[in-house]
Amino acid sequence: LVRSTGRVLKLSQSGISPQQRFTFFDQVHTTGMDIPQHSGARAVVTLGKDMVWRDYAQGAFRMRGIGKGQTVSLLLIPEVQGLMCRQLAKAGSSRRPLTPAECAAGPRSTITGAAGERQPLRLEDVAAWLVVNSMKSETTQYDQLCTQNLANVWRRNAFKELMGGYHHFRVKEDDARKFILDSLGHAFLSAKLGTCSRQAFEGKMVALYFGAESEGGTQAFTQAVGMQLTQALRAAHAHFSDTLEVIFVSSSGSAEWFTDEFAEMPWLAVPFSHTARRKLLRETFDIQAVDQHAVVLLDDEGKTITRDGARLIQLAAAWEAADKAHEARLKDSQHEMEMRDREKKVLAREERRIKPLVTVAEAAVGRLSKLDAAGVAEIAAFGQVPQLPPEVRQVVGRASAALARALESVRGLTQDQQDQLAAVKAPSAGLRALGEVLCQLWSLKPDWTTFLHKVLAGPNLAARVARVDSVPPSAARHVGKYAAAAGGVEGSHASAAALTREGGAAAGALHAWAVALSSFAEAQDEARNASDKASASSVMRLACQCVCDMMGLDAVDDIEALVFVAATAEQAARDAAAAGEELDDAAAAVEDEAEGDSGSLERVQSKLMRMRQFAGILERDIRSSSTNVAPLLDQARTYGTAINPAMASHFESVCRNPGVIEGDEVARDAFAFALGAIDAADPATAKDKDDGAAAKEPLGVRVKALVGFVNERINPAQFGVFVQRLQELAGEPDQQRMRMEEWPRLVQLSTALNHATNGQAGRNTMQTYPAVQALANWAKSLGSYLEAYGELVRKKGQLDAVRAEAAAAQKALDEDLSQAISAESASLPAEVDPLALRAVRKQLRNRGQTGVPRAALIAALQRTLNAEDDAADLLKHLPVARRALQVISDPGRLGEVPANHILPRQLRKLTSEVRSGDLLPHSVAAGRRLREAMVEATKRQRAVDKARRVAEKERREKEAAQKEADKLLREEAEAKRKAEEKARREAEGKEAEEDEDEDEDEDE
């Protein structure tokens, strides 16, 4: 605890060494509290009159190092010392009680012993006294416990006697029922019938519903059973309406809540105005909680069945709902079993129908596996890039070169050349057609105004032109007509010269670029048509497309291009395997290298984007500030007009009271602002200000000289000059006459003047002196304008700096990008754009698709003619395409494709492709041949099955005959055994009879 501040700190943060710490323990905290002390610490223990040995030991042992450097001192007050000696004497000690003088002398005084000598107190005496106190405390506790036990004897007997005679005191059942019925009363409310009597529920059970505004303690039970009490009561009332009636007893003190709740209840209610009845019913059934629902059930005679009817009714309703849900689940389960049986029958029928088709499919796969090398090569040629005719390649090359030259011309345009074209307000028909065509290339409204504001005036025209690598379908017809009217690339020089004379170099460059772009698009279309003609036959293409659709490429539009990319990826994998490295490692190395090259460019681009965003924010702020500055200047002009020669008398009255100018805060700041503004606008005063001559003169003297106050009067000519100078200051829109270094001081004076005029003293001054009021209003408005205009100037300077920095960053970025593109273009085919390669690689990296070979990227851009999005879409399906290529290269592997992996949409597309187009006749013929082969195979299989059945029958007949013969042999052997056994028994009987006869003869 810090003594000076009263703040509590941790010991480790207090900065106090252990030797300087002081710890205080009260008696409560001597047990269980352990605070480490210094090894040489000393403790002081005090004893009270009721102290026992245990408490003393707990307090002393807060010092954990007793006997190891730590010590304990014992302090006794004289009263405790005297008490100790007296009690020890009573206990048989040789010490006598102390006299008052000896008690006053302190605990260390000596005591006369038995021999009359003086003896000091010893620790043994303290310990003996503490033990005596402990014995006294335990004796007192024992006496109290005995007293309590004795009291419980008669209490227990009295309670037993009372419980045994309870039947003598309890209320008779008839009286209790009568009291309950009387408490219910005779008047009730019904939402349907209005007022009704007790006859409405004669002979019925009654449920007294004590409703509350909140559920209170019943909320947990309601959540457990999943049934609201009101919902359960409605169900019970509807189900047992002939034998049960519910009576609502409101526990709320709000009549509006009672009216709203009871309006939706189908049962009776005790009127809200019968407060005494409602209170009596709550007291009768001991309903204490007013925020808890309760239900009391009564039989038809008024006898209480239970007071916990709410739980019973909720449980019953929940059980009924659960029972209904169980029955519904049983019905659903039975229905599902029936549906399953029907599906089993359908499945068996479909299996019988599919079995012949499986045979046909196996036969087709068998024929595919037996194809010769020429047939496999014809199938494997699907997706390969056909060789274009030389003349087509020349046309594409010339168009590409012309487009590159036109693009370089556009990139070489300066801002002045673009501004020269933008200055044309009434263009000719040719120039207007150029603007409309360029607008259509960016999907804009085709007119000259849109071209100026959206195309030409936008930032970085050359970069936006470079990103246009194809003609949109919506603009293809208009661009083609424009290029045809210009005579193509070769004939466009004359029209370009005419446009250059009218709109400058920018018009000629954009015209050449538009014509070259149209020619390049036409060359691409011609190359695409030639490629289609040189590719595989339509039947083979359709067949291979069906295979690819079955493998999961049904969503790909250009399957041939995708298969070509997959073939390129497979070739790259084989090359990597031949070089002894994994394809994924090689692709990762290429990606890491490209990512490292583009990392710095992306950082520069990010910085450039942030600077452009900040420049946009500054531009918006400047426009907003410009809008806000104009009203402030108009206000300053208005207040400046109010100061005119007619106010000379008012200024004269102010000058005649010098105390107002220098003593009043409003007048002082207003005149100081006027002097500072006039001095800032006068170059001649700058030197005087530097010399400090003006600052030495009092403010009143300078003000009088300013307004022309001489000989207790104002000179009209000098005052007119003062008024003119004030109005000139408020009339300059840019305030170029006032030195900008003086603006902060003037703004500070204006802010102080605003605070001064808001006070009561300032308002009184302005009411007394109209000249001060007019000058203060002018100074405040002009100061606000200077503050806003100064902020505007600062933002404009900041905007210029940001634009300059952005231009420098853009220049550096263009140079770095040009170097990177040049380095990467050296290893790329001529028709592949390095920027497109970087963009596609970035899209794949953002999508999480890694390990794509660089050769596959190049192939995708070649097939899509550098269309970045199309190439990325192709590469998205590359893994599936590689599996499809393996099947196309080895048609016998079609049998390994699981039929259940084909999705319904793939099957529908496959069926439609097989049944339409050029593939249909071939499909029909192949199906006929396969069916004939299936019929022959079925006949052979039937013959084999018949022979197998005949052989099986003969085998079973032989086995039956053998079994019959074995049975006859067993029966003959059993009969023979029985006959032998019978003969043996007869022989033994005869021998026994003969022996008996011999015995009888011997006896006789």
| Structure confidence at residue 735 (pLDDT) | 45
Q: How far apart (Å, rounded) are the C-alpha atoms in residues 281 and 270?
A: 10
According to DSSP, the residues that pair with 710 across neighbouring strands are: 713
- Helix, strand, or coil (residue 58): helix
φ, ψ of residue 263 to 5 degrees: the values are -65, -25
CB-neighbour burial class of residue 401 (10 A; exposed 0-12, middle 13-18, buried 19+):
middle
CB 209 within 8 A of CB 233: yes
Residues 885, 567 contacting (CB under 8 angstroms): yes
Q: Which of 242, 172, 168, 256 is nearest to 204 (CA)?
A: 242
Q: Give the pLDDT score at 824.
A: 59
pLDDT beyond 50 at 687: no
Q: Given this model, what pLDDT does residue 889 score?
A: 76
More confident residue, 54 or 941: 54
Task: Please list, in sequence order, all residues whose beta carbon lies within 8 angstroms of the beta carbon of residue 987, skipping any fewer than 6 positions away.
Answer: none
Question: Where on the phi/psi map is residue 897: left (φ > 0), alpha (ψ -120 to 50), or beta?
Answer: beta
pLDDT > 80? residue 655: yes
Give 453's DSSP letter: I
CB of 441 within 8 A of CB of 468?
yes
State both tokens at 296: 């009391």
Closest by alpha carbon to 464, among 483, 442, 436?
442
Q: What is the mean pLDDT of the chain?
A: 78
Q: How confident is the model at residue 166 (pLDDT cuts 50, 70, 90)?
A: low
**For the segment 32-41, what is each residue's pLDDT rounded down to a tens digit?**
888 888 888 9
pLDDT the model gives residue 96: 55
The pLDDT-based confidence of 118 (bands split at 50, 70, 90) is very low
Residue 317, pLDDT score: 80
pLDDT at 827: 64
CA distance 967 to 534: 83
**Statement: residue 507 has pLDDT above 90:** no
- How far apart CA 790 and CA 698 sit, in angstroms, is 30
**Could you count the other beta carbons within 10 Å of the beta carbon of residue 573?**
19
Q: Is the pLDDT of residue 349 over 80?
A: yes
Predicted confidence band of residue 533 (pLDDT cuts 50, 70, 90): low
DSSP state letters, 706-765: HHTEETTEE-HHHHHHHHHHHHHHHH-SS--SS-GGGHHHHHHHHHHHHHHHHSHHHHHH
* pLDDT one-digit tens code per residue, 829-861: 766 777 777 788 888 888 888 778 888 888 888
- CB count in 10 Å sphere of residue 864: 20
Which has the higher per-residue pLDDT, 87 or 604? 87
Instruction: Kindly state the average pLDDT of the residues 454-480.
Output: 78
CB 99 within 8 A of CB 109: no
- Write out pLDDT tens, residues 235-286: 888 888 788 888 888 877 778 888 877 877 888 888 888 888 888 888 887 7
Q: Does pLDDT of 696 surpass 60? A: no
pLDDT at 877 over 90: no
Residue pair 790/742 in contact (Cβ under 8 Å)? The answer is: no
How far from 928 is each of 360, 539, 935, CA to CA, in Å?
Answer: 10, 18, 10
**Cα atoms in the Cβ-side hemisphere of radius 13 Å centred on 283:** 8
Torsion from C-alpha of 994, 995, 1001, 1002, nearest 10 degrees? 160
576-579 own/partner pairs: CB under 8 Å, 24+ apart: 576/853
Q: Residue 204: which pLDDT band, with cuts at 50, 70 and 90? A: confident
End-to-end CA separation in angstroms for the chain: 141
Residue 330 reports pLDDT greater than 80: yes
Pick from 505, 497, 439, 448: which is nearest to 472 by CA?
439
DSSP 403-450: HHHHHHHHHT--HHHHHHHHT-SS--HHHHHHHHHHHHHTT---SHHH
Which of 104-108, 571-575, 729-733 tops mean pLDDT? 571-575
Average pLDDT over residues 626-632: 79
High-pLDDT (> 70) share of the chain, %: 84
Using CB atoms within 10 Å of the CB of residue 922, give its burial: 0 to 12 exposed, 13 to 18 middle, 19+ buried.
middle
Question: How many angstroms separate the Cα of 399 from the Cα of each of 389, 520, 531?
Answer: 16, 5, 17
pLDDT for 969-983, tens place per residue?
A: 999 999 999 999 988
Does the pLDDT value for residue 439 go beyond 60? yes
Mean pLDDT of 40-56: 91
What's residue 819's pLDDT?
65
How would you classify the pairing of strands 709-710 and 713-714?
A: antiparallel
Q: What pLDDT score does 104 carry? A: 57
- Would you state the pLDDT for residue 42? 92
The helix/strand/coil state of 827 is: coil
Is residue 203 within 8 Å of residue 298, measured between CB atoms?
no
Closest CA to 856 of 834, 835, 841, 842: 841
Residue 707, C-beta contacts closer than 8 angstroms, at least 6 positions apart: 651, 655, 714, 718, 719, 722
Q: Is the pLDDT of residue 686 over 60?
A: no
Q: What is the pLDDT of residue 534?
A: 58
Residue 59: other Cβ atoms inside 10 A: 21
Instruction: Kindly report each contact of residues 553-560 with a partner whose C-beta sits within 8 Å and lies 24 or more positions away, as own/partner.
Output: 553/877, 553/880, 553/881, 553/884, 554/903, 554/905, 554/906, 554/909, 554/910, 555/877, 556/873, 556/874, 556/877, 556/881, 558/863, 558/864, 558/870, 558/874, 559/383, 560/382, 560/383, 560/535
pLDDT classification of 98: cutoffs 50, 70, 90: low
Lowest mean pLDDT among 54-68, 142-156, 298-312: 298-312
Q: Is the dihedral of CA 211, 212, 215, 217 positive or negative?
A: negative
Asked if pLDDT for residue 117 goes beyond 70, the answer is no
Supply the Cα-derived Rg of the chain in whole angstroms: 57
Mean pLDDT, residues 736-761: 77
Q: Which residues contact 411 (CB under 8 A, 6 or more apart)?
A: 462, 465, 466
Question: pLDDT-based confidence at 602, cuts 50/70/90?
Answer: low
Kindly report which listed range (802-811, 819-828, 993-1002) carries the lowest average pLDDT score. 819-828
Average pLDDT on 469-491 reads 77
**pLDDT class of 564 with cuts at 50, 70, 90:** confident
Q: Which residue has the higher pLDDT, 786 or 252?
A: 786
User: What percent of the chain stands above pLDDT 90?
Assistant: 5
Listed residue (20, 23, 17, 29) closest to 55, CA to CA: 29
| Higher pLDDT among residues 826 and 71, named by residue | 71
